[in-house]
Amino acid sequence: MSELLTRAQAKRLWLRALRLDRPDTFGAGPAATTAAVQHLGYVQIDTIHVIERSHHHILFTRIPRYKRADLQQAQSKDKTVFEYWTHALSYVPTRDFRFFAPAMKRSQKTPMSWFKTVKPADLRKVLRLVKRQGALSIRDIDDDVLVEKDHPWASRKPSKRALQLAFFNGLLTVSERQGMLKAYDLTDRHFEWDQRPKPASEPEVLAYLLERALRAQAVVSVDSICHLDAKRKAGIKKLIESKMRKKELVAVTIRGAENVQHWAQPELLASAPRQEHDVTHLLSPFDPLVIMRKRVQLLFEYEHRFEAYLPKERRVFGYFALPVLVDDDIVALVDLKTDRERRQLLVQRWTWVKRGKSAANKRRIEDELHRFERFQLDV
């Protein structure tokens, strides 16, 4: 037997889980930033800077009084969040460090192909420098013998890739970030650990991934739990079957999306959430809602296109189009660019989605654009 939900009910459950159904959930200050990262499980970092970078944007969406300094304090002073790889480079809660430690150990044994060119001497060099001098960025290392780039994103300094390898190995962590410039410190010294947290076992990692998905997605599928982590799907399926036998999870069928099996905690389905607040959000393309393209299409009946890497002539919505959520539906896309010299937020293109066009929606989106502009320029 399977519980039946409409698409509207499933959407509202997801929006509540993502804390997008109300204007202010987490409060303000560094503690709010930590709480948001802990609840979502991760906040993706991205380099594109046509508007505010994705990590600040995602937090601002959920914390109306968010300040960039809040994230800096959470990372560098309170040390309640740290950077590591989820499906992409992200901020994750420090309390979850042990669930990422197995990936660090695997990286030490079998580095990714990107790091095959790192010479052991270069790795020893950067570790020695950081140990002696304290946290360092690549700009602080000026004695490298420069090499030719082997990739557009590579550096001519061998030390940069060595720092990155030490980061993936868990030997170094990002102790501070200024824009995209990272300072690396010894992981144990940064967190002031006498003893590093014990790495989680694989069953513990699977349980963590399921719990994180249930918290931030409410109604889950195997694909949504294992986003860009296909190798864990078999283990997650077995864990779900075990939870079903214990009646800790129930099967869910979403009307109109019956071809994808979902699950939820039974207490969550006792009362489907109602739309209690008027909300308007300009969503980052890297928001936890938007990045799951298939899930967005399934529940919102909207297919998002990220066109930053497409040639200009192939773009339909624009270089960096943001989906606009009004209450519980995506009604428009706005392609934005910040003109920092003139201190303006420029709307490059505005596209209505489905039946979203209305005078009321336009007013609400314009109000949110003004608020977003103030945040963009408040640096």
What predicted TM-score, i.e. pTM, was given to this entire model?
Answer: 0.95
pLDDT at 153 over 70: no
Q: Where are the beta strands (DSSP E) in the chain?
A: 3-5, 43-44, 81-85, 89-93, 172-178, 181-186, 250-254, 262-264, 280-282, 321-326, 329-339, 344-352
Q: Which pLDDT score is estimated for 106?
A: 97
Q: Which pLDDT score is estimated for 241?
A: 98
Phi, psi of 260 (to 5 degrees): -115, 120
Give me the percent of the chain exceeding a pLDDT of 90: 87
In terms of Cβ atoms closer than 10 Å to its own Cβ (0-12, 13-18, 19+), residue 11 is buried
Q: What confidence tens digit (pLDDT) does each residue in 249-303 have? A: 999 999 999 999 999 999 998 877 777 789 999 999 999 999 999 999 999 999 9
How many other β-carbons are positioned within 10 Å of the β-carbon of residue 41? Answer: 21
Who's near 167: CB < 8 A, 6+ residues apart?
83, 173, 174, 184
CA nearest to 239, candidates 270, 199, 278, 212: 212
Strands 250-254 and 3-5: what pairing? parallel
Cα separation, 332 vs 29, whole angstroms: 31
Question: What's the rounded mean pLDDT across residues 107-132?
Answer: 94
What DSSP designation does 312 have? G
Pair 323, 300: CB distance under 8 Å:
no
How many other β-carbons are positioned within 10 Å of the β-carbon of residue 284? Answer: 28
Higher pLDDT, 153 or 16: 16
How many other β-carbons are positioned within 10 Å of the β-carbon of residue 163? Answer: 28
Going 215 to 220 to 221 to 227, the CA torsion angle's sign is: negative
Instruction: Provide the token pair at 35.
Output: 């709480």
Cα separation, 333 vs 59, whole angstroms: 20
Instruction: Provide the token pair at 168.
Output: 């993936």
Cα separation, 280 vs 323, whole angstroms: 11
Angle between helices 29-40 and 68-76 (to 10 degrees): 80
Pair 189, 175: CB distance under 8 Å:
no
Phi, psi of 278 (to 5 degrees): -85, 120
Q: What confidence tens digit (pLDDT) does each residue in 207-262 have? A: 999 999 999 999 999 999 999 999 999 999 999 999 999 999 999 999 999 999 99
pLDDT at 123 over 90: yes
Sheet with 250-254, strands from edge to edge, namely 3-5, 250-254, 262-264
Cα separation, 102 vs 106, whole angstroms: 6
